[in-house]
């Protein structure tokens, strides 16, 4: 497999989009004004030089803090990155099960402990820059790269008549470096002054970047004010972190702090995807429960971002740079280590992204995120068809079925912990009474993971939000 270049990134993205396209229409955007986000985990087998998608997720929604259930049966965070990661956990549990039963697997077992086989790597793709810290960077960084003009209205949208680069033409390397995305839920805002709005009808696509900048200056009257602004994120600074100044232009946001995602009119306790991905680089993507059986965490080798507004510098800052001082002093338990995955951008975009939908939507259409999330994994659960969730529950769930297994999606806490409990029983794991175990109890037995998490919190993530005790104390069975 070639080094982690744009060519490699394009191969990953093509594979992920092909898998998405192969799925049924259920859960995908229904009309010309709906958009969604896509994330995937790709497995690489170095010996055979093969790549395959093993987990996929879409979505952009989050459950508010006052709507969190106490039974563990609702998916709290349905951002594509988180959905894909939980689907990947399902895949890993399935592979451990296969190894336990003596079948072909990416894991091998020795003395009741499971090891990831050598030569197996994982790559993470997301169609957009993760929400939160990675989405905050100067607009000039992107505008200088693609030479495009965006329009802001009361509801931030991207004018469909303004092209976002030419997908059929590969730009020069110097320009490609910056192409990428701010969080599309946050969207682009050129709102520095009342008179600084660029009318799309006044701007024509030009091959020459300098002509494009000249047109922008003519329309706005002050191009410097536009270019010195930053992309915005809807994620809010958590309590204990420095707050956003919310001053004009580039001083609106502060960088380097932990943020929570916005909910549907209700603040959430879910950390931004930038923050969660950083956590994965230290603790792995397998979660606490599976670490009861694994020798080492499962890490990702690369993070591939699709074609959208992007800053390599902001991405580096978000994923590891902002915590550099704390990371230098970590004394992690055996098996855990500080990872710095390669950050690569592809020049291939996702057809159902907000930017692409904006380009083809009818004039006057209000762009809306699709309310559903697609869940797919390379397991028996999803091989026949993808699973679709809405409001954290299975699509089509009736009021009568709420609270029963018929409403669960396969990646909610309740479902995952049930699978893990069955796996632990078969492994002759002997804790206290199985029938009395709660989700919190199960997590407690993951000693190395808990130790690593406590160290990480003390050094880097002291303001990480704490979920209420009642939503973690549900009985697994």
Encoded tokens for 256:
């380097």
In the set 81, 95, 185, 387, the catalytic residue is 81
Contact of 453 with 283, CB cutoff 8 Å? yes
Residue 233 makes CB contacts below 8 A (sequence gap 6+) with: 131, 132, 133, 135, 136, 182, 183, 186, 253, 259, 272
Q: Which residues, listed in sequence order, are joined to residue 259 by a DSSP beta bridge?
A: 237
Torsions phi, psi for 221 (to 5 deg)? 85, -15
Torsions phi, psi for 211 (to 5 deg)? -65, -40
**Strand, helix or coil at 43?**
strand
Q: What angle do CA 139, 141, 144 make, to 5 degrees?
A: 100
Encoded tokens for 122:
């994982």
* Three-state secondary structure readout of 357-417: HHHHCCCCCCCEECCEEEEEECCCCCCCCCEEEECCEECCCCHHHCCCHHHCCCCCHHHHH
Encoded tokens for 175:
């320009």
Torsions phi, psi for 384 (to 5 deg)? -80, -40
Q: CA separation (Å) from 371 to 23, 26, 40, 87, 200? A: 18, 12, 19, 19, 29
What's the rounded Cα separation, in Å, for the pair 14 and 204?
Answer: 30
What's the rounded Cα separation, in Å, for the pair 465 and 275?
Answer: 11
Distance of CA 165 to the CA centre of its chain: 24
State yes or no: is 210 an active-site residue: no
The residues annotated as belonging to the active site are 81
């Amino acid at each position: 497999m070639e080094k982690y270049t744009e060519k490699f990134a394009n191969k990953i993205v093509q594979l992920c989009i092909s898998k998405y396209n192969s799925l049924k229409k259920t859960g995908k955007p229904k009309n010309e004004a709906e958009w969604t986000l896509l994330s995937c985990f790709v497995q690489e087998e170095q010996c055979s030089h093969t790549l395959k998608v093993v987990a996929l997720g879409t979505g952009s929604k989050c459950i508010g803090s006052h709507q969190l259930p106490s039974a563990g049966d609702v998916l709290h965070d349905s951002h594509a990155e988180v959905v894909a990661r939980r689907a990947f956990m399902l895949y890993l549990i399935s592979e451990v099960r296969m190894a336990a039963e003596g079948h072909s697997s990416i894991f091998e077992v020795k003395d009741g402990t499971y090891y990831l086989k050598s030569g197996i790597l994982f790559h993470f793709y997301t169609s957009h820059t993760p929400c939160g810290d990675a989405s905050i960077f100067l607009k000039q960084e992107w505008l200088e790269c693609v030479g495009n003009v965006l329009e802001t209205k009361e509801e931030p949208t991207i004018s469909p008549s303004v092209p976002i680069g030419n997908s059929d033409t590969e730009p020069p390397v110097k320009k490609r470096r910056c192409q990428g995305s701010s969080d599309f839920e946050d969207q682009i805002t050129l709102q520095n002054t009342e008179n600084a709005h660029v009318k799309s009808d006044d701007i024509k696509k030009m091959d020459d970047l300098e002509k494009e900048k000249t047109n922008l200056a003519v329309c706005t009257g002050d191009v410097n004010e536009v270019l010195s602004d930053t992309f915005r994120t809807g994620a809010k600074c958590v309590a204990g972190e420095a707050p956003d100044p919310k001053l004009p232009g580039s001083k609106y946001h502060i960088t380097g702090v932990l943020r929570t995602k916005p909910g549907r009119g209700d603040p959430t306790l879910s950390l931004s995807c930038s923050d969660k991905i950083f956590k994965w680089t230290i603790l792995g993507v397998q979660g606490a429960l599976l670490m009861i059986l694994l020798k080492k965490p499962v890490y990702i080798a690369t993070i591939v971002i699709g074609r959208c507004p992007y800053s390599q510098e902001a991405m580096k800052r978000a994923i590891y740079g902002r915590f550099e001082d704390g990371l230098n002093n970590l004394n992690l338990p055996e098996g855990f280590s500080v990872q710095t995955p390669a950050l690569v951008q592809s020049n291939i975009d996702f057809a159902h992204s907000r930017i692409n939908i904006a380009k083809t939507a009818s004039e006057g259409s209000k762009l809306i995120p699709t309310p559903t999330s697609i869940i797919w994994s390379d397991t028996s659960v999803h091989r026949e068809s993808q699973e679709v969730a809405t409001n954290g529950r299975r699509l089509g769930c009736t009021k009568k079925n709420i609270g029963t297994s018929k409403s669960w999606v396969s990646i909610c806490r309740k479902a995952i912990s049930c699978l893990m409990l069955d796996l632990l029983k078969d492994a002759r794991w002997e804790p206290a009474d199985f029938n009395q175990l709660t989700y919190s109890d199960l997590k407690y037995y993951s000693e190395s993971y808990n130790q690593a998490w406590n160290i990480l919190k003390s050094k880097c993530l002291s303001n990480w939000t704490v979920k209420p005790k009642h939503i973690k104390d549900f009985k697994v069975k």
